[in-house]
Amino acid sequence: MTLYGVGLGPGESDLVTVRGKRILEGADVVYSPGRLSRSVALDHVEADVIGDLDFPMTRDPEKLRNAWKEAASEVAPVAADGTAAFVTLGDPNVYSTFGHLRRILDAFHPEVDVEVVPGVSAVTAFATALGVEIDAGAGLALREAAGGKSPIGPDRQILFKVTDAPATHEGLVEAGYDVTYGRRLFMEQGETLVTPNPADVAERDYYTLAYAERRGLEKDRPTAFDGVAGESDVDNEEVSTGD
Ligand SMILES: C[S@@+](CC[C@H](N)C(=O)[O-])C[C@H]1O[C@@H](n2cnc3c(N)ncnc32)[C@H](O)[C@@H]1O
């Protein structure tokens, strides 16, 4: 009946949402595109529920398209007769492989309903891990920095796919940014690292991001509640925006 795209969060199994866990526990088959997502899923379901999908290690678009078509043909009958789940780290709709599967299912297996269970994305988890506060009213751009790229422009940027931190760092610092790197944040496997030093994360690891903030950015952080009596008022929707 349904294929659920389930976001597992950044990589610690207790950061899976309650809804995600419920869907995984009720699924006939749980498909996973990689080793890390599989290991998180295995904290919630038995190994015999995990379905195998083969993805070639290639950037060739034709080969990848064929692999996704095959994956869709494998998943579709399971989802048509019961409940299947496809897990991704973070959120299934943020820079994720799930989009390929959904598009192919829409085109070739329209009988399968697809639903998404959002997950805690690295886009938001980074803020806690790096001790960053994105104030109300501030902008935050999500960009890619693969291959040593240094995207510039917005005052605050979260950069995914930092594969050559020293090269990315050079460009960003020259353009006037302060940069902090985060590696394997909230992840069970591998060592978590938070550092302003690109040399610490020079060795390539796919699960590396960076937060770049324009140097000397004015922070207009009001002490708005200084004059407001009582903590309960802070939660009052008339006082705060509720966000
Ligand atoms: C293809 S994107 C997937 C994003 C994922 N769907 C999400 O919502 O977080 C992969 C990139 O996200 C970043 N990333 C994802 N999880 C991370 C983590 N736990 N720690 C650090 N970076 C992470 C890295 O920059 C990595 O190259």
Domain boundaries, the chain: 2-117, 122-214
- Using alpha carbons, select from 128, 120, 167, 168 the residue that is nearest to residue 144: 168
Distance in Å, CA 226 to ligand 1 centroid: 38
Handedness of CA 141, 210, 163, 15 (dihedral sign): negative
- With a 6 Å cutoff on the Cβ, whether 165 touches ligand 1 is no
Q: Pick from 37, 87, 88, 89 the residue to mutate for probing ligand 1's pocket: most ligand atoms within 8 Å of its CB.
A: 89
The span from the CA of 91 to the CA of 129, in Å, is: 17
Q: What is the pLDDT of residue 140?
A: 97
Q: What is the signed CA dihedral for 42, 48, 50, 51, rounded to 10 degrees?
A: 170
122-214 has CATH 3.30.950.10 classification: yes
- With beta carbons less than 8 A apart as the criterion, state whether 171 and 154 touch: no
User: What's the pLDDT score for residue 236?
Assistant: 43
DSSP 194-207: EES-GGGG-S--SS
**Looking at residue 36, what is its pLDDT?**
94
The pLDDT score that the predictor gives to residue 235 is 44
Say how far apart CA 32 and CA 168 lie, in whole Å.
31
Please report, in tens digits, the pLDDT of each residue of the chain (243 residues total).
899 999 999 999 999 999 999 999 999 999 998 899 999 999 999 999 999 787 777 788 898 889 889 999 999 999 988 999 999 999 999 999 899 899 999 999 999 999 999 999 999 999 999 999 999 999 999 999 999 999 999 999 999 999 999 999 999 999 999 999 999 999 999 999 999 999 999 999 999 999 999 999 877 666 655 544 444 444 444 444 445
Q: Is the CB of 225 under 6 A from ligand 1?
A: no
Let me know: does 161 contact 155? Beta carbons within 8 Å: no
Nearest CA to 181 out of 135, 139, 138, 132 is that of 132
**How many angstroms is it from 59 CA to the middle of ligand 1?**
18
Closest ligand 1 atom, CA of 182? 21
Residue nearest to atom 5 of ligand 1 (CA): 90
With a 6 Å cutoff on the Cβ, whether 95 touches ligand 1 is yes
Helical segments of 60-216, H only: 61-81, 98-108, 122-130, 165-174
Measured in Å, residue 185 CA sits from the centre of ligand 1 at 9
* Atom of ligand 1 minimally distant from the CA of 159: 25
Supply the residue whose CA is at minimum distance from atom 27 of ligand 1. 161
- Closest residue (by CA) to atom 12 of ligand 1? 160
Instruction: Return the CATH number of 2-117, one of 2.40.50.140, 3.40.1010.10, 3.40.50.150, 3.30.420.10.
Output: 3.40.1010.10
In 82-164, alpha helices (H): 98-108, 122-130
C-alpha 138 to ligand 1 mean position (Å): 22
pLDDT for res 159? 98
- Which is nearest to 30 in space by CA: 48, 54, 13? 48
